[in-house]
Amino acid sequence: MLASKNQKSYQSGSSNVNMDKVSFNDTTLANLTEKYEILNESLNNLIKAMDDHKQDFKEFQGGNENIPEYIEAKAKQIEDNVGSSITRMDGEVQKSLSHQKAENSRLQQQISQLNTDQVVIKNQLLHIQKRIEDIQLQIGDNYANIV
């Protein structure tokens, strides 16, 4: 009887184990299905992200093709700006140089005129000094004759 009791316990335990296996398999299958759906959704998101990155890369690559043209255009624009600035500054320098030469010439003429005037004044001063001496001699002779 003890053996049959143990067999019953084992049998009833075994049917409980079979029941647990079924419910475990159902739970495992549901979990696996859920995990599969999550993985599938993640995979779809990764594929979409990869497509977006591919598009960005194509746009970037297309943008790189325009960079040499852009750089060349900018270089030409800078060259033109620098060229016009140099031309404008050269004109200003030439104008300033011309004005400075005219001013120098005018000042040189004034200096020459002042030097000429100085020589004339020295000569007049010498002539006046000579007349004063002549007058003094005349006065001295007249005074000596009077006394």
For the chain, 147 residues long, give each residue's pLDDT as a single digit of tens: 444 444 444 444 444 444 455 555 667 777 888 888 998 998 999 999 898 888 877 777 766 667 778 788 889 999 999 999 999 999 999 999 999 999 999 999 999 999 999 999 999 999 999 999 999 888 877 766 665
Which residue type does 109 have? Q
φ and ψ at residue 55, rounded to 5 degrees: -65, -45
**Confidence at residue 128, expressed as pLDDT on a 0 to 100 scale:** 96
CA dihedral angle for residue 59, residue 62, residue 63, residue 66, rounded to 10 degrees: -160
**Residues 77-108, buried b or exposed e (16+ Cβ, 10 A)?**
eeeeeeeeeeeeeeeeeeeeeeeeeeeeeeee
Cα 74 from chain centre: 13
